[in-house]
Amino acid sequence: MEKKIFALKGNICFSRDKHDIETIPNGYVVCENGICQGTFSKLPERYQETPCLDYGDQLIIPGLVDLHVHAPQYPFRGLAMDLELIDWLNIHTFPEEQKYADLEYAERAYTIFTDDLMHSATTRACIFATLHTPATMLLMDKLEQTGMQVYVGKVNMDRNSPPYLCEKSAAQAAQNTEQWLLACAGRYKNVKPILTPRFIPSCSNELMKQLAKLQKKYHLPMQSHLSENLDEIAWVQELCPETQFYGEAYDNFGLFGQDCPTIMAHCVYSVPEEIERMKHHKVFIAHCPQSNAALASGIAPVRQYIDQSLKVGLGSDIAAGFSLSIFRAMADTVQCSKLRWRLADQSLSPVKIEEAFYLGTKGGGEFFGKVGSFEPEYEFDAVVLNDTALRHPQELTIKERLERLIYLAEDRFITAKFSNGVCLFDNMK
Ligand code: GUN
Ligand code: FE
């Protein structure tokens, strides 16, 4: 294979750990065959012949990671924010997702979603589709074209769902999921399937058993929801009286990260046993502060998760969250943690900007392997940011400029984006 090597030059920013953001003014980051070779303040002798893209005074950061987003809900983001979770699902969300039985609607809606994700700072995402296989494949085909590295899940639901958005039986749901998996096999380079039971209230015990079998057979990662809302948690307790806590309703079927990488969105009200189990099984928590505020679900104790070294990344959770931006998720993580600290629990100190940046890059990136940093051996995802529109009369350090971008970045500030060593777009070319 031809050796593909290049360097980017600019103001480099990335995390090695959650405490600090490392910055290299006028530095270099080198990519060889899709893998980061490290960062340098002067280009070493061995790279003197390496092609170098010079982005001048712009900032270069690792691509952002969205661990939890519902593609079919994108059309109603910013609408219908008047209800709590269960009513919001029944009244707004399920009727919207039903529309994806119609491939023409799916084509129009998923074109917009894919386009907007492509022009955001996100390079990796874990995406819920709907239970419709043709529309899910259409979404996967579109995402494949972009070069972003994403997981997509055909959603499973066989109970407590309206008849128009409910599979006929557990066996039928599992069979549809297996057929979808077979249809995906060998079809994609950038897009991978992920097992997606919607949440415990929508999935019967029989369906969970069948999904566990499929997970073993195909060794599939999994994504779902956990302990998001108090009424939801009480409902799960009614549906699964044998469980001590919500997470056990997944764990009892072997679907809680035992064998395959697993993401649980929210974890606003996880009890100590649930937290312990997630830590033990290395479950990734997708922290979605904007969604948790919009549905008045609560504020997750993300400070505790960070301090106890659980695996945590950020999610936009469109359309319970209204913004697709993971920069916004970083800012909301900080803001919500401050409100929680002030109003509810002084034992958990606010999240710092360095920590929020870590969660939105390396924290979530770990779900994909070595992703989300510019350390050597990391898969090369990078975003180039032009912050000249954020005018300032005073001197700012590179780190201060990044901090302002976290709060104020807009998609139009993104000059170029790379994923897995491939340039997805470059407005300077
Ligand atoms: N729980 C089950 N389905 C959903 C969904 O679509 N969004 C959110 N936020 N929570 C859920
Ligand atoms: Fe969600």
Which letter does DSSP use for residue 361 in this model?
I
Supply the mean pLDDT for the chain: 97
Mean pLDDT value across residues 135-146: 98
**Tokens, residue 307:** 């301090």
- Confidence check: pLDDT of 2 > 80: no
* % of the chain at pLDDT higher than 70: 99
Residues within 6 Å of ligand 1 by CB: 70, 85, 89, 93, 198-199, 225, 228, 291, 317, 320
Q: What is the distance between the alpha carbons of residues 149 and 417, in angstroms, rounded to a whole number?
A: 12
Q: What is the distance between the alpha carbons of residues 214 and 202, in angstroms, rounded to a whole number?
A: 18
Measured in Å, residue 265 CA sits from the centre of ligand 2 at: 6
Straight-line distance from the first to the last Cα atom of the chain, in angstroms, rounded to the nearest whole number: 26
Widest CA span of the chain, in angstroms? Answer: 66
256: phi then psi, degrees, rounded to nearest 5:
-140, 45
- Ligand closest to Cα of 199 equals 1
Measured in Å, residue 128 CA sits from the centre of ligand 1 at: 10
pLDDT digits over 24-74, tens only?
999 999 999 999 999 999 999 999 999 999 999 999 999 999 999 999 999
Coil, helix or strand at residue 40: strand
pLDDT digits over 249-296, tens only?
999 999 999 999 999 999 999 999 999 999 999 999 999 999 999 999
pLDDT digits over 318-372, tens only?
999 999 999 999 999 999 999 999 999 999 999 999 999 999 999 999 999 999 9
pLDDT reported for residue 429: 85
- Ligand closest to Cα of 155 equals 1
pLDDT reported for residue 33: 97
Q: Of 228, 231, 290, 316, which is best to mutate to test ligand 1, by the most ligand atoms within 8 angstroms of its C-beta?
A: 228
Q: What is the distance between the alpha carbons of residues 414 and 148, in angstroms, rounded to a whole number?
A: 15
CB atoms within 10 A of CB 342: 10
The answer to whether 240 and 196 have CB atoms below 8 angstroms apart is no
- Any idea which residue has 């209230």 for tokens? 201
Residue owning the nearest CA to atom 8 of ligand 1: 320
pLDDT reported for residue 1: 46
Measured in Å, residue 224 CA sits from the centre of ligand 2 at: 8
pLDDT reported for residue 3: 61
Residue owning the nearest CA to atom 5 of ligand 1: 89
Q: What is the distance between the alpha carbons of residues 206 and 202, in angstroms, rounded to a whole number?
A: 12
pLDDT reported for residue 336: 98
pLDDT digits over 208-222, tens only?
999 999 999 999 999
Which ligand 1 atom sits nearest the alpha carbon of residue 291? 9
pLDDT digits over 373-429, tens only?
999 999 999 999 999 999 999 999 999 999 999 999 999 999 999 999 999 999 998
- Ligand closest to Cα of 223 equals 2
C-alpha closest to that of 152 among 196, 189, 199, 206? 196
